[in-house]
Structure 1
Amino acid sequence: MKQLQEVLLGKEGNYIFPFFWQHGEEENVLREYMNAIHQSNIRAICVESRPHPDFCGEQWWHDMDIILKEAEKLKMKVWILDDSHFPTGFANGAIKNAPDELTHQYLVYRTLEMCGPAKHLELDVKVYMKPEPLPPWMPPAPPAERVFHDDELMKVLACPVLEGECLGEPVDLTNQIADEMLEFDLEDGYWRIFVIYLTRNAKGRNDYINFMDKESCRLLIDAVYEPHYAHYGEYFGTVIAGFFSDEPPVGNIEGYGLAGPIGSPKQILPWSKEAATCFREEFGSDDWGKYLPYLWANAADRKLQAKERVSYMNMVTKLVSECFSEQNGIWCKEHGVEYIGHMLEDCDMNSDLGASMGHFFRGLSGQHMAGIDNIGGQVTINGQDCMRHQEPACQDEAGFYQYLLGKLGASHASIDPKKQGRCMCENFGAYGWQSGTKEQKYMTDHFMVRGVNRFVPHAFSAAPFPDPDCPPHFYAHGENPLYRAFGELMAYTNRVCHLIDGGKACPDVALLYNGESKWAGDASSNIRAARYLTQSQIDFHVIPSDVFTENSAYPVAFDGQALKINDVSYGGLLISGCEFVEEHVAGFIIDALAKEFPVIFLDQKPGGIIAASDEEKEKFATRLEDCEVVDGKEAGKKIRQILTPQVTSEPACNRLVSYHYHTDSDIYLFLNEGAKNVYRGTVTIQGKGCPVRYYPWENRIEKAAYEETANGIKVMLAINPLELCVIVLEDEMEMQNVADKPEFAREEQEITEFSVRRIDAKTYLELKKKDLQMDVAEQGEKVTAPFSGMQKKYPDYSGYYIYETEAVLEAGKSYQLSIEDVSESVEVFLNGQSLGMKLQRPFVFILPGQQVSEENQIRIEVATMLERKLYSQGYDVKSMSPYRPLSPTGIVGKVTLQKVK
């Protein structure tokens, strides 16, 4: 396999571009940091103002000159985060002085409730085209920075309130307004009168561009993209790779509060000058205005409610796609660079408005990579083990982050030709100083085994140490003891990403994105399906309903045997429980069932089609009468009954996650996400060739034990806790030079005493730069087994512990050195020669026979996290993550030697 040979020869590409935060640092600091990033085995950066005091001003261009020249010298690429501060959309303050028509506009309402019958009532509509006044005992709200005077009445609608607080058919009273007074009658019953109007004075992200307005979105291009091109056009497409949008929000709320799904009472809704025309197109008539109350309150007519809400959300998300994402992507393409980034995905918020963009796939449509992010304790080492209940929730049980987040990004990368199979994950941010490379390696593996192949580590901060802004910071002016270990992790990441780049994923089934169903009515989250598919080693992609529309941007083919999207094949379609499906999805379901293609309904069958006629609904329901409903927990079992999956494990293990990828060979990734037990068993995989096990950390290969069966290739595996196992199917002729797995004698020789010294991180790096040995430091102190770490003696210390001992061995024989546990990273030296570094169990090192003499010096260097040093000084070490106990430091447990047979 070409890519395997490339990584074995150290010729892998770069797949990493960390945030490099700018605060206006001195030139020497910028150059130091560019070299520190380069020395971390990273060949690109993403420059972010965090915040720079003069973004797009003279100091910014001065600093960018330095960074770009240094990048050119080091042969690095530069991405640019596209705004003066996070999140994207502030447009470097351009909206402050922009014309009124380019600012945010909102659809809002007030209600008046009355009993009928009543005649000749009069209502001053102007009074109701204002927010409800605060009670007199409340302090007045601070005045707005900018006041607008173009409020516009949309509708006055009287809705009967029926049983269950549902609204009946609205009565349009708008035409009965004269001289701003509404004169009206009410029939018998209880009524809710909606005064619905447009305003720019409601509370949202009013200092941000209107993401539904093309001219408003252009402000970002004019304020950020164009000035960078004017200064650095010669670098575009060479040194400058492109622009990065970070969590652009539709912005109909302030900050990051929950906007709630469409249908939430009192929600202010985004609007623009194009909205009314687009709303009509989506709804199919001018009646969209009559049913506006259904955007906030439940209706007795569930079909009309679904049609109104989905039409509105389609309008918003398609405008966001066209006006913002696509416009940025087109500009970048025309200027020889790419456009990337991600939205706020958290806990199914990706199909809501507010701080997100309403639709995961549409919001990122213009970008040239798929994108997601993982911050602040969302994915954790014990993510699968911490499920307290059978049904997954979000943050507290890691349901969304553990099972769905990575697959959303990888799915978009695979099905959208523009993405070219590339999915970026912003990773590690705000996990705090309690997060080290051990956890960071797991987080990287977690996403790679789900199909992510680009990473934006968060972050390198050049602010004075310790910068309280969302640590960890990987270099920290040389103060971070794990800086070198982080560099080894980046090299490892590039190797694995190189293997899984440039081909195509081979999932078993497709899972329908539930955005439209969620807008329309009752709908289950896809978290449940994602959880049980993952735990059954059933690989899947999440696909949007847009793939089934006419003139879809996604290349689709269906022959009754397989559904192909962008040449990725799916053997079935799963649909989580929902009340309604979109009409093009319903059309595919009917066609698929007629051709006996598997369509599996989880927990509930859809009862209707959004915006369909009664006749169409009845026909659809009749066709679904004989369809089985499968409990979501049984999804994996059901799929195995109807198709041959890519992976079957024996014994079954719900902690074993798998991923099949095809380039010029078949590649399988397996991650044992259980933090406690070794997985020992077999995996039966599909493909041709002889299985080779690649060890990406050590960058070596060995033969794998296997047998050919009628069901596929059965490979015998032992996978350590949190270990990523890579199996490559190679041509038999290329297997001749692959080594067998070594065997070790059972006898152990325990090391019971070390001399230990401490070296702070900056001193250690200086010694490394000068190529000096660590033994130039002061004499160490003796420690004896059992080893329980050094934290009791030095509870406030962060840095390096240097363990040294003498060992009498049989000259010329190879040995295996095993360390039970280490906190945090460990590098072993034999007679002054490094045997490599490890970040996670098993901490096992081979002492090669050619380096072993009768008397040997063994040196074990352990780097700690910064948590103890900073915690003792009163700094916040957890950032946005949950609080955790402090970790031990140094060697914990037994240290043994075994002779290789």
Structure 2
Amino acid sequence: LPCMKWLIDFLLVRGVNHFVPHAFTDFFPDEDCPPHFYAGGNDPQFESFSKLMKYTNRAAHLLYGTDMEAAGAILYHGEAEWMNGQGCMFSEKPAKICYDAHIPYDIVPVDSLLRAKAEAGKFMVGERSYGFLAVPSCRYLPEPFWQAAKSLKAAGVPVFFIDAAPMCPEELPGEVVELKKLADHIFSKRLAHDYHAGSALLRIARFDREDTSAFVLFNENPMPILESVRFPAEGKYLKMDLLNEVYEKAETKDGVVDVSLEPGESALFLWGGVEDQEMEAFPKECCWKERSEVCALWDIDLYEQGKAAGYSPFRCQSELINITGRQGNPQFSGKIRYRTSLDLKKAPLGLDLGRVGVSAKLSVNGHDLGWRIAAPYRWDISSYIKAGKNEIEIVAANTLANRIQDAFSRRMPILPSGVLGPVYLLRASEKQFEQEDIYGQKSL
């Protein structure tokens, strides 16, 4: 599930918002068509699989019909590649420079330029608008390109020839820009918004609909990201965790927002589209400022679906281990139940399980707080704890990969299983608590 969630976010932040699940099969095991989402009731993740599907539907519905921003266009010069591939820069070179600098773009062929309408420093292909055209270096381009480039120049549209200009029949309708300086050049001419985000693997996409602007952020980095991102928007906004249905309000006077994302985590920031009265009903954004490690011992039980009738004791008063590691059972596929007691004070608190393989459900004093299928494996437990002894139960689910090795994934590394930790209690700043109870959750 974390891998599938990663793939969904990879597509969403690139503008894909229509998904059709496929490769379902009634046969299990079926060597021709893994993975098996149900697997005859054997898949440990299936109970939480619907969470991924609901998230995908929710995110796609919110973004469907919006206009995805593209600051400029990059020429796909297929003709030049076919004629002289070795003397031609592929389009992905300037695309990577723009992408890592959070400059949104589309790739357009010469045919699209011939249909473009250009005026006032912009050109449009269909309903898409662009503020510049970047042309990867090559030796030759066809005559129709030069006709289109002249029209763009006459309309005030900047045309950048990357590293070197091709053979031009007349005066060059643009300027030569070094590849490594392309992003800085675009920013200097104010042709794209500079988010001032230092991590190239923090992906940012903007989607507009009427008076609403939605920004999807996705951390493709294997490390956590903490950035002060400068959005091209000010005032009140909603920070939306669409996966776990947590929606919180916040405000920025200058567009700068502190963004913290775990590896593979995404978030949506929404400006506009929400009435003031409705905005006030949302809790304030919860910023976890302090954490302390939970040094508890756990009673661990195992339930191997399809092989057992229920849970069986595995370890008593144990530290956290990889259930399918050398100290555990390498062939185990199923659910792992953890139980412990924590002595707590009645206060606003969160619980973070750290590393988990691969999904987990939390219960506090008998209250089911739901599944987490990807990092962060974190819950707000404020409303469910009491002063004194609190009963904590976690159910983790791994995959069928430990029990069944298919030909497609025979050489893939298998993830650890269960709660790996470290487990932390989280606290927020006292100043926020003085202003308002910020730990409620509200579903749209």
TM-score (norm 2): 0.87
Counterpart of 1:887 (choices 415, 419, 424) is 415
**Partners of 1:787 and 1:894 within 8 A in 2:** no
Shift of 1:472: 2.0
**1:806 to 2:341 alignment:** yes
2:440 alignment counterpart = none
Quick one: distance in 1 between partners of 2:408 and 2:392?
A: 33
Counterpart of 2:124 (choices 544, 556, 564) is 564
Q: Could you say what secondary structure the match of 1:510 adopts? A: strand
Counterpart of 1:735 (choices 272, 276, 279) is 279
**Partners of 2:113 and 2:125 within 8 A in 1:** no
**Partners of 1:672 and 1:679 within 8 A in 2:** no
Shift of 1:853: 6.2
Quick one: distance in 1 between partners of 2:340 and 2:189?
A: 60
Quick one: distance in 1 between partners of 2:47 and 2:362?
A: 14
1:418 alignment counterpart = none
Structure 1 residues 473, 683: CA separation in 2 closer, same or farther (over 3 Å shift)? farther
2:68 alignment counterpart = 505
Quick one: distance in 2 between partners of 1:593 and 1:474?
A: 54
1:480 alignment counterpart = 43
* RMSD between aligned residues: 2.5
Alignment of 1:735-774 (within 5 A): 735-742=279-286, 746=290, 748=292, 750-762=294-306
Structure 1 residues 780, 655: CA separation in 2 closer, same or farther (over 3 Å shift)? same
**1:525 to 2:53 alignment:** no
**1:439 to 2:9 alignment:** no
**Partners of 2:364 and 2:384 within 8 A in 1:** no
Alignment of 1:322-341 (within 5 A): none
1:682 alignment counterpart = 229
Structure 1 residues 671, 744: CA separation in 2 closer, same or farther (over 3 Å shift)? closer
Alignment of 1:472-621 (within 5 A): 472-522=35-85, 523-549=88-114, 552=115, 556-607=116-167, 618-619=169-170
2:325 alignment counterpart = 791
**Partners of 2:68 and 2:207 within 8 A in 1:** yes
Structure 1 residues 694, 794: CA separation in 2 closer, same or farther (over 3 Å shift)? same
Quick one: distance in 2 between partners of 1:833 and 1:529?
A: 52
Shift of 1:538: 0.4
**1:672 to 2:237 alignment:** no
What are the Cα deviations for residues 219-251 of structure 1, in whole angstroms up to 9, with x where unaligned? Answer: xxxxxxxxxxxxxxxxxxxxxxxxxxxxxxxxx
Structure with larger RCO (C-alpha < 8 A, sep 6+):
2
Structure 2 unaligned segments of length 5 or more: list them: 431-444
**Partners of 1:689 and 1:732 within 8 A in 2:** no
Structure 1 residues 634, 747: CA separation in 2 closer, same or farther (over 3 Å shift)? closer
Structure 1 unaligned segments of length 5 or more: list them: 1-436, 609-617, 768-775
Larger helix proportion of the pair: 1
Shift of 1:508: 0.7
Shift of 1:751: 4.2
Counterpart of 1:699 (choices 245, 259, 262) is 245
What are the Cα deviations for residues 115-150 of structure 1, in whole angstroms up to 9, with x where unaligned? Answer: xxxxxxxxxxxxxxxxxxxxxxxxxxxxxxxxxxxx
Q: Which moved more, 1:857-866 or 1:474-483?
A: 474-483
Quick one: distance in 1 between partners of 2:381 and 2:275?
A: 30
Structure 1 residues 481, 786: CA separation in 2 closer, same or farther (over 3 Å shift)? closer
Alignment of 1:356-505 (within 5 A): 437-463=1-27, 465-505=28-68
Counterpart of 1:843 (choices 377, 399, 408) is 377
Quick one: distance in 2 between partners of 1:439 and 1:705?
A: 33
Structure 1 residues 715, 896: CA separation in 2 closer, same or farther (over 3 Å shift)? closer
**Partners of 2:367 and 2:384 within 8 A in 1:** no
Q: Could you say what secondary structure the match of 1:456 adopts? A: coil
**Partners of 1:646 and 1:660 within 8 A in 2:** no
Quick one: distance in 1 between partners of 2:226 and 2:286?
A: 19
**Partners of 1:705 and 1:716 within 8 A in 2:** no
What are the Cα deviations for residues 168-217 of structure 1, in whole angstroms up to 9, with x where unaligned? Answer: xxxxxxxxxxxxxxxxxxxxxxxxxxxxxxxxxxxxxxxxxxxxxxxxxx
Quick one: distance in 2 between partners of 1:480 and 1:474?
A: 7
Shift of 1:461: 1.7
Shift of 1:631: 2.7
Quick one: distance in 2 between partners of 1:805 and 1:795?
A: 24
Letter in 1 for 2:176: V
Shift of 1:822: 0.6
Letter in 2 for 1:538: I
Quick one: distance in 2 between partners of 1:806 and 1:714?
A: 41
Quick one: distance in 2 between partners of 1:671 and 1:521?
A: 37
What are the Cα deviations for residues 559-612 of structure 1, in whole angstroms up to 9, with x where unaligned? Answer: 14211223221111111122332333221211222333111112332225xxxx
**Partners of 2:121 and 2:158 within 8 A in 1:** no
Letter in 1 for 2:318: T
- The count of corresponding residues between Structure 1 and Structure 2 is 423
Shift of 1:782: 1.5
**Partners of 1:460 and 1:475 within 8 A in 2:** no
Percent identical across equivalent pairs?
A: 24
Quick one: distance in 2 between partners of 1:568 and 1:646?
A: 17
Quick one: distance in 2 between partners of 1:722 and 1:647?
A: 23
Q: Could you say what secondary structure the match of 2:375 adopts? A: coil
Letter in 2 for 1:721: P
Structure 1 residues 729, 498: CA separation in 2 closer, same or farther (over 3 Å shift)? same
User: Runs in 1 of length 4+ with deviation above 6 angstroms?
Assistant: none
Counterpart of 2:201 (choices 644, 655, 658) is 655
Quick one: distance in 1 between partners of 2:401 and 2:359?
A: 14
Shift of 1:548: 3.1
Letter in 2 for 1:592: L
Shift of 1:729: 0.4
1:118 alignment counterpart = none
**Partners of 2:17 and 2:63 within 8 A in 1:** yes
Quick one: distance in 2 between partners of 1:763 and 1:838?
A: 25
Counterpart of 1:623 (choices 169, 172, 181) is 172
1:56 alignment counterpart = none
